[in-house]
């Protein structure tokens, strides 16, 4: 018993340390505030970043070497679609000047991770259905939130919201363990490369492919309602801004959100977490699981071949 307690304590401390270093937050529990107490206004301008120049992309594969597929979370009927991304390069601005990054083939989620998928991980439904004890699989799961973490926007078919960067990474680790494949968050370069779709990107007016401040009614919407980009990927811009791993190895949110103005929505749009994202979290220190005031943050997964 003492050995299992020590292992659990080490895992918890590791998770807390990882989140603290990546997002400058620490601790263990605390839930998302209810819709009545959460902030749903546009993120402060200081949080949003827009690249001064567009990244340049080059596709080096004539056709993707991978095939699209539909995955199923083992033990459930919940599915998710993955889109193959061909190899290429992307040149991005960095503090040290332009940097050209090689992109190897990978799969990316056709949509943001939905509540249908996230609930199974977050609330240990996979263990409860099988009769296993929560925690028996060694997976770190978020604490129980206050109220509804979907903020009343909608649940089935909607993007999961308000989790920290650390929790998004843990979801990918959990899915990897469940399926035997290697899932993770996209790097910032992979994400923008996929968003730009070989330079073809999105066609038409912003309203046709993004939920943003002018058309969202201040809420997220079901995934895949707008037009996809040229590679068939939905909602990469607008709806929920998406956690990625930045060029510096820290968490960065990409694409803009449902409450972002038009100029802060796009493949080069970025947000960085600030204390305002957890302003109403009553815990000291703040939760490493939930962002009480970030009603706009979600994520999508990628898979390595």
pLDDT digits (tens, 9 = 90+) for 135-183: 567 789 999 887 788 999 999 999 999 999 999 999 999 999 999 999 9
CA–CA dist 192, 128 (Å, integer) = 37
CATH code where residue 202 lies: 3.90.1580.10
Pairing of strands 56-59, 88-94: antiparallel
Closest C-alpha to 176, from 141, 136, 139:
139
Q: Is residue 30 pLDDT above 70, yes or no?
A: no
Domains in the chain, number: 1
Give the sign of the dihedral formed by CA 156, CA 161, CA 163, CA 169. Answer: positive
Mean pLDDT of the chain: 84
What percent of the chain is predicted at pLDDT more than 70? Answer: 80
The DSSP 8-state label assigned to residue 58 in this structure reads E
Alpha carbons within 13 A on the beta-carbon side of 148: 10
State the pLDDT at residue 137.
Answer: 72
Segments forming the whole domain that contains residue 26: 2-303
State the pLDDT at residue 138.
Answer: 78
Number of H helices and number of E strands within the chain?
6, 13
Report DSSP letters for 194-262, one per residue: HHHGGGT---S-HHHH---TTTSTTS--BTT-S---TTS---SSSSSEEEEE-TTSSEEEES--TTS-G
Higher pLDDT, 159 or 22: 159
CA–CA dist 219, 100 (Å, integer) = 36
Q: Distance between alpha carbon 298 and the CA centroid of its chain, in Å?
A: 4
Q: Is residue 6 pLDDT above 60, yes or no?
A: no
The token pair that represents 227 in the structure block: 């037009």
Q: Is residue 245 pLDDT above 90, yes or no?
A: yes
């Amino acid at each position: 018993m003492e050995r299992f307690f020590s292992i659990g304590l080490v895992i918890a401390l590791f998770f807390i340390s990882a989140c603290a270093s990546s997002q400058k937050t620490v601790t263990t529990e605390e839930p998302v505030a209810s819709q009545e107490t959460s902030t749903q206004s546009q993120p402060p301008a200081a949080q949003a970043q827009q690249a001064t120049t567009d990244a340049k992309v080059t596709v080096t594969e004539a056709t993707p070497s991978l095939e699209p597929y539909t995955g199923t979370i083992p033990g459930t009927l919940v599915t998710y679609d993955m889109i193959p991304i061909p190899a290429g390069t992307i040149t991005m601005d960095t503090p040290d000047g332009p940097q050209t990054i090689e992109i190897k083939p990978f799969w990316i989620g056709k949509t943001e991770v939905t509540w249908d998928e996230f609930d199974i991980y977050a609330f240990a439904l996979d263990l409860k259905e099988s009769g296993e004890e929560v925690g028996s699989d060694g997976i770190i799961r978020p604490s129980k939130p206050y109220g509804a973490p979907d903020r009343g926007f909608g649940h089935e078919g909607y993007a999961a919201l308000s989790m920290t960067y650390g929790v998004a990474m843990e979801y990918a680790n959990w899915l990897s363990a469940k399926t035997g494949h290697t899932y993770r968050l996209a790097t910032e370069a992979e994400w923008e490369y996929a968003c730009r779709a070989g330079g073809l990107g999105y066609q038409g007016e912003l309203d046709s492919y993004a939920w943003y401040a002018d058309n969202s009614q201040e809420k997220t919407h079901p995934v895949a309602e707008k037009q996809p980009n040229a590679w068939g990927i939905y909602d990469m811009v607008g709806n929920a801004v998406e956690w990625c791993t930045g060029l510096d190895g820290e968490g960065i949110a990409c694409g803009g959100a449902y409450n972002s103005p038009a100029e802060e929505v796009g493949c080069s749009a970025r947000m960085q977490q600030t204390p305002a994202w957890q302003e109403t979290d009553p815990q000291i220190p703040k939760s490493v699981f939930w962002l009480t005031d970030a009603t706009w943050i979600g994520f999508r997964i990628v898979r390595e071949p």
